[in-house]
A and B are shown apart, each in its own frame.
Chain A
Amino acid sequence: MLRKLLLTAALLGAAAAVAGLGTFATFTSAASAVQGNLTSGTVTIQLGAVGTANRLTTGATGVLPGDTIQRAVDLINSGDSALASATLTTTAAPSNLLSTDGTNGLQLVIDKCSVAWTEANAPNYTYTCGGTTTTVLASRSVIGANVALSNLGSLVAGVTDHLRVTLSFPTTAPNTMQTLTTQITFAFTGTQRAGTSK
């Protein structure tokens, strides 16, 4: 029993000696700088809540050539970063002549109002602008990918654009386009500003 204890003591001694040598090994000098927080930004755009700030979710039935469908939607930059651009991509399901016929199918126009659109005639909504109207997207066929949008204020963080999406069914539409149903998905995409010095 005694022998075992002495061995333990010897081992401890050896360990202590090694530690002692280590502390005198090399001279060094260190200098530190602590940087302030580095925080990344967010790029977030969103549409208004379903209701007066987003009527895009409302469909229409019995649409005949010459009809127009107006829907208001708010586009909100809710991130903390400026955008270089916002684009619109539209898709249709199911796909049929209403969306695929670029001439006689649905046509899309987007305007914005400097204040919230004044809504009337629910559920066949129509809108008037109490402020200034500008064109965001000139008339084109309804389906498009990464279509550039103009005159948006919501490229700036915190700003909301009051948009009015108008779909029109051309009077040139042939009878083959009767009783068709489609559903259009509107996807707005905001892309960050270019890199800069920070």
Chain B
Amino acid sequence: MPDARLHGVMAEFASPEALLAAVVRCRREFASVDAYTPFAVDGLADALGFTRNGVPAITLAGGIVGGIGAYVLQWYSAVIDYPINAGGRPLHSWPAFIPATFELTVLGAALAAFFGLLVLNGLPRLNHPVFDVPDFDLASKSRFFLCVRADAPGFDAAVTERVLGSLDPVRVTRAREVER
């Protein structure tokens, strides 16, 4: 019977190399593994089996929406809703519509990249079980954390602690779910 109030078992490492080796090992044993680092460690996300990075697709969609939206807005307002004949110039004067279309393409893509990043990362989320783990304030400084989550089927805290303890960590701790 898994402990419902357990988030997972955390191990603290002193270097990214130690963390990376531990992640590779733990991925063979456990289903759901997380890692927390003070900077982007090369190859760590790959080692965690992270493949579904949705940010580029969302950014592309934002750019397309921004660009098409800007062009349609200009076309509709200049041709349909408010046509002005200025010296017989064409109403649909597309070259003049390009600058605003370009700018709003960039704006749409940038907004999508920023907010897509936040939504996919589940941020803002000010409280999280890992924050209660001792030393976790060093995860934004000089320590590297690995978490084997308790939500996977067949999770056994004692076994997990034994495996993590064999990987030469600084320490191993249990992370509790946040009290509500």
Q: Do A and B originate from a single complex?
A: no
Hey, which bits of chain B sit against chain A, CB under 8 A? Answer: none
